[in-house]
Amino acid sequence: MQAPTTIDGSDEFMPASRPRRVSVLGATGSIGRNTLDVIRHFSAREDFRIVALTGRANVDLLASQAVEFGAEIAVTADEGKYGALKAALAGTGIEAAAGAQALEEAAARSADWVMAGIVGIAGLAPTLAAAQAGATIALANKECLVSAGDLFLAECAASGSAVLPVDSEHNAIFQVLETNQRQAVERIILTASGGPFRDWAMERMAQVTPQIAAAHPNWSMGMKISIDSATMFNKALEMIEARHLFAVEPRQIEVVVHPQSVIHSMVGYADGSVLAQMGSPDMRTAIGFALAWPRRAHVPVERLDFAKLSRLDFETPDEQRFPALRLAREAMDAGGVSGAILNGAKEAALEAFIAGKIGFLDIARAVEETLERLDAGEEPDTLEAVYEADRQARATALELMAA
């Protein structure tokens, strides 16, 4: 088959002389499965060597992914699942391992490109291990930056590992941020779908179940991020993520509700120009962008049909019903370990909501009270300081929720 070419007739894709070594952390999740799907597609024209695939509960899926892609090693974060994983991989020659330590070691194996697709603060240590080993990091896990932003980026800079944002908003900004015009950037405008309760009254929101909250109107994602979209804590995390990734001041970060999720985010410049990136709401575009970077390659997502897109709407977010955005701004202003506190309290409250212990509106309440109760302190300069803030935030949120 003849390789497709770009408009100027040059090769769209220049395969490297040796297979590219790739690991996928969180391979069994929504980001991980989409990543493997893109790798499957790119494999028609580029050789990949899959180094490590990791997961947690679903070891059957993990094992079948490892077999399909011929991975060197498959790791489950759950030590109790080691036996099952080992049995599923028996006779394949693929290594099996389990537990947090094994996860970090697998993440640190020599690789050119690593997808950071583990959900939550659990993704921090393995992603950092991959960055310290010098791999290019395709960063879906936003908690690395929310909880340990400066520390994480300093480690990436020290090892020379590039960070490519995969979160769709940050990927969009990365695409339209002109690197030689940084001083002319006035604002970054994050778009938000507004989630399933965008126009619901507070009384109705108070009653929602985790199942209803997890049904996102546009994007198909993991359960936790879907509920975070419903509370708008996802956008709160993304504001902090943007601040670190693009080195802008908190006041330069705006959020606009855009229910169609076609514009994935925008950058406003000093001359009044606003550059936007658009596409179908499908994470494979951002993943494919990161996998092909610094070039672009074909990704089989649905193309935007402007004739069918009759309109694009924009609204100001309602911070009465969605206090998360205000809390993100307060956390950015307070500095220190506030990002880790906000995220830790949010993770604890989210788990309590999923377990049916608190109501939907109690999530923001627990985060707000935890941020009020704990001291922002200094910028964390060790992982231990980040984990300590995370532990304290979870404990405080649990105590407040039980009261």
Contacting positions for ligand NAD (CB under 6 A): 26-32, 55-56, 77, 117-119, 122, 140-143, 167, 219, 221-222, 224-225, 283
Beta strands in 245-347 (DSSP E): 253-257, 263-269, 274-278
Least Cβ distance, residue 263 to Mg ion (angstroms): 13
Closer CB to ligand NAD, residue 231 or residue 400?
Answer: 231
Closer CB to ligand NAD, residue 140 or residue 236?
Answer: 140
Least Cβ distance, residue 273 to ligand NAD (angstroms): 27
Least Cβ distance, residue 20 to ligand NAD (angstroms): 21
φ/ψ of 137, rounded to 5, equals -105, 115
Closer CB to Mg ion, residue 106 or residue 163?
Answer: 163
For residue 154, how many other CB atoms are within 10 A of its CB?
12
φ/ψ of 191, rounded to 5, equals -90, 150
Closer CB to Mg ion, residue 168 or residue 396?
Answer: 168
Q: Which DSSP state fits 3?
A: P
Six-digit token string for 255: 């959020």
Closer CB to ligand NAD, residue 225 or residue 398?
Answer: 225
32 binds, among ligand NAD, Mg ion, none (CB under 5 to 8 A by kind): ligand NAD
167 makes contact with Mg ion (CB under 5 A): yes
Closer CB to ligand NAD, residue 50 or residue 400?
Answer: 50
277 binds, among Mg ion, ligand NAD, none (CB under 5 to 8 A by kind): none
Under 8 Å between Cβ of 61 and 151? no
29 binds, among Mg ion, ligand NAD, none (CB under 5 to 8 A by kind): ligand NAD
Least Cβ distance, residue 80 to ligand NAD (angstroms): 13
Least Cβ distance, residue 140 to ligand NAD (angstroms): 3
Six-digit token string for 168: 């769709």
Closer CB to ligand NAD, residue 21 or residue 142?
Answer: 142
Helix crossing, 143-159 with 383-402: angle to 10°?
A: 180
Polymer length in residues for the chain = 403
CA gap 87, 128 in Å, rounded: 30
Which amino acid would we find at residue 238?
Answer: E
117 binds, among Mg ion, ligand NAD, none (CB under 5 to 8 A by kind): ligand NAD
The residue whose Cβ lies closest to ligand NAD is 29
Least Cβ distance, residue 146 to Mg ion (angstroms): 12
20 binds, among ligand NAD, Mg ion, none (CB under 5 to 8 A by kind): none
Under 8 Å between Cβ of 35 and 24? yes
List C-alpha distances in Å: 276 to 153, 166, 226, 229. Answer: 25, 16, 24, 21
Helix crossing, 338-354 with 383-402: angle to 10°?
A: 40
CA gap 343, 130 in Å, rounded: 22
Angle formed at CA 244 by CA 242 and CA 245, multiple of 5 degrees: 65
The residue whose Cβ lies closest to Mg ion is 167
Least Cβ distance, residue 14 to ligand NAD (angstroms): 28
CA gap 223, 249 in Å, rounded: 31
Least Cβ distance, residue 7 to ligand NAD (angstroms): 30
119 binds, among ligand NAD, Mg ion, none (CB under 5 to 8 A by kind): ligand NAD
User: Among 316, 402, 335, which residue's Cα sits nearest to residue 375?
Assistant: 335
118 binds, among ligand NAD, Mg ion, none (CB under 5 to 8 A by kind): ligand NAD
Contact footprint for Mg ion (CB under 5 A)? 167-169
